[in-house]
Amino acid sequence: MRLLHYWRATIGIVGRELLRFLHQRERFVSALVRPLVWLFVFAAGFRAALGIAIAPPYETYILYEVYITPGLLGMILLFNGMQSSLSMVYDREMGSMRMLMVCPLPRWFLLCSKLIAGTAVGVLQSYAFLGIAWLYDIQAPLMGYVWILPALVLAGMMLGALGLLLSSFIKQLENFAGVMNFVIFPLFFMSTALYPLWKIKESSEILHTLAQYNPFSQAVELIRFALYEQFNQQALLFTVAAFLLFMGAAILGYNPSKGMMVKKGGGGD
Amino acid sequence: MTEIALAVENLSFAYGAKKALDAVSFKVQPGECTILLGPNGAGKSTLFSLITRLYDAREGRIELCRFDLKKQSLQALARLGVVFQQTTLDPDLSVTQNLRYHAALHGIGRKAADKRIQEELERLAMFERRGEKVRQLNGGHKRRVEIARALLHKPSLLLLDEPTVGLDMPSRQAIVSHVHDLVSQQNLAVLWATHLIDEIAADDSLIVLHKGQVKASGKLSEILQSTGWADPGQVFQKLTQGSQA
């Protein structure tokens, strides 16, 4: 009986998120515009300037657009994870998050369900982007589009968990813009999304170390290898570890006894 | 033994050094509408946050239908229906979609949920508007939908946090009347936070909260009799005098 309750609640939360997504077409379009601008404008412009050597998982020389595509998938998931947590902050300010927290289900379960719902949206956006990239002649092996699914799910969960963790620290929506700048940009630019590690090493040893241990880099590499039907064990382990760490901290952050919400308060009277 | 819908015992809570609630105790019985009256900053929202378990109280205890909110939170919360001060419906979803979402969170299957949705919306004369997006409803109708939602899972205790703020007089009267009907006809326990004196009915119970402390509690008629004050407005004024900005 309890399991049925959990199942219905999960379906309800995921279904609501997908319905909202379908109703907000502009959200879908804007989520795609960002990586497409990077692909069509940034990558096209840098194609001549940047030479990419042969490195796994690639078996031949590749265009910069091909290299950057997994990074842009990571970008979609990163922004989606942050947008999900932005909606959590908004929901909490507007009260609908309180409605969720009042239902008779454990807090950790509600957070996991929200995470699954947000990830489902991010994965749909990623496949839409891959479809457009295909038309732009950036094509991976056919089975790569199947291999990539678990990688996208895991990367989406890890980045969504980071978003959840951040949302537990933020009381008001206004504070979120600053955190976005301090989190999204460093994560994205200090990663292998735009340049391979060896290229980063050429310019800065410190940047290379930061990029190497950046969880976003690992998620991007997991996606990159999966898209070419290969398995990157280190990236998988690193991404799973980061997910567990972020999720554990987020659950603690939303704990009614110990969480940040207690310390920050929420009284409106 | 009389069943208690809500028992709050010696509840204290502080945000850092700032004390928001100080040894608050009261009970709410089934078939009783209890008005929680207090000026801004009295601690009403903090009290609601604790009863809905947004936070846990470090001191004191809350029981819902004899379930300890901290130790048996899932059983306790299953018996609670809430209407928050701010609208918590999703404006982009229809009335039915919003209510189905709430039903799913309470583990109610689709068929049973649709039946309950019809019952509650019909009672509030909102069934014809079930397919409309919440965004298209006026404030009074949104409140009705929120009340229907709070009652979907048949709670024993209904919490209302200033549900009539910002509504016109006919909408306010309709909600006040509907809630009092629920209390008398369904034996529902209601805790209604407000600062609008005219929403209090003669047979309601009253809790006056001021600076985090309960200044008076009991049946309104008994409070008036024991103090000699004329009406709830005077009770409120006398007990919270000097606090208003």
Q: What is the ipTM of this complex?
A: 0.81
As given in the structure block, the two tokens for residue B241 are: 């005098």
Task: Tokens 């609670």: give the residue.
Answer: B80
The per-residue pLDDT for B116 is: 95
Residue A265 lies in a domain: no
Q: Which residues numbered 149-178 in B keep a CB inside 8 Å of some CB on A?
A: none
Q: How confident is the model at residue A51 (pLDDT cuts 50, 70, 90)?
A: low
The per-residue pLDDT for B151 is: 93
Alpha carbons B76 and A136: distance in angstroms, whole number: 56
Contact A263 B105 (CB under 8 A): no
Domain that holds residue A56: 2-256
Name the residue ranges covered by the structural domains of chain B: 85-185
Residue A148 lies in a domain: yes
The per-residue pLDDT for B69 is: 92
Please give the share of chain A, as a percent, with pLDDT higher than 90: 35
Closest chain A C-alpha to B198 CA, distance in angstroms: 20
Q: How confident is the model at residue A137 (pLDDT cuts 50, 70, 90)?
A: confident
* HSE value, Cβ hemisphere, 13 Å, CA-based, for A94: 12
- B175: amino acid identity, one letter: I
Confidence check: pLDDT of A176 > 80? no
Does domain B85-185 correspond to CATH entry 3.30.450.40? Answer: no
Q: Which residues contact B211 (CB under 8 A, 6 or more apart)?
A: B22, B41, B42, B43, B243
Q: How confident is the model at residue A266 (pLDDT cuts 50, 70, 90)?
A: very low
Per CB-CB distance under 8 Å, the chain A contacts of B93 are: 16, 19-20, 23
A5 closest CB neighbour out of B44, B101, B107: B107
Strand intervals (E) in chain A: none
Residue A172 lies in a domain: yes
Confidence check: pLDDT of A202 > 50? yes
Residues B80-100 have a mean pLDDT of: 90
The per-residue pLDDT for B1 is: 47
Residue A101 lies in a domain: yes
- Of the candidates B32, B30, B73, the one whose C-alpha atom is nearest the C-alpha of residue B50 is B73
Q: Give the pairing type, strands B59-64 and B67-68.
A: antiparallel
Burial of A264 (0-12, 13-18, 19+ CB in 10 A): middle
Whether chain B has a CB inside 8 Å of the CB on A173: the answer is no
Which letter, b or e, does each residue of A119-158 get, where b requires 16 or more Cβ atoms within 10 Å of its Cβ?
Answer: bbbbbbbbeebbeebeeeebebeeebbebbeebbbbbbbb
Residue A266 lies in a domain: no
* Domain total of chain A: 1
A256 closest CB neighbour out of B56, B76, B106: B56
The model's pLDDT over B116-162, given as tens digits with 9 standing for 90+, comes to 999 999 988 899 999 999 999 998 899 999 999 999 999 999 999 98
Please give the share of chain A, as a percent, with pLDDT higher than 70: 86
- In which element (H, E) is residue B68 found? strand B67-68
Residues B34-45 have a mean pLDDT of: 89
- What's this model's pTM, rounded to 2 decimal places? 0.83
Confidence check: pLDDT of A48 > 70? no
Residues A239-260 have a mean pLDDT of: 85
Confidence check: pLDDT of B9 > 50? yes
Contact A266 B54 (CB under 8 A): yes
Confidence check: pLDDT of A269 > 60? no
A9 closest CB neighbour out of B76, B97, B107: B107
Alpha carbons A225 and A219: distance in angstroms, whole number: 10
Residue A66 lies in a domain: yes
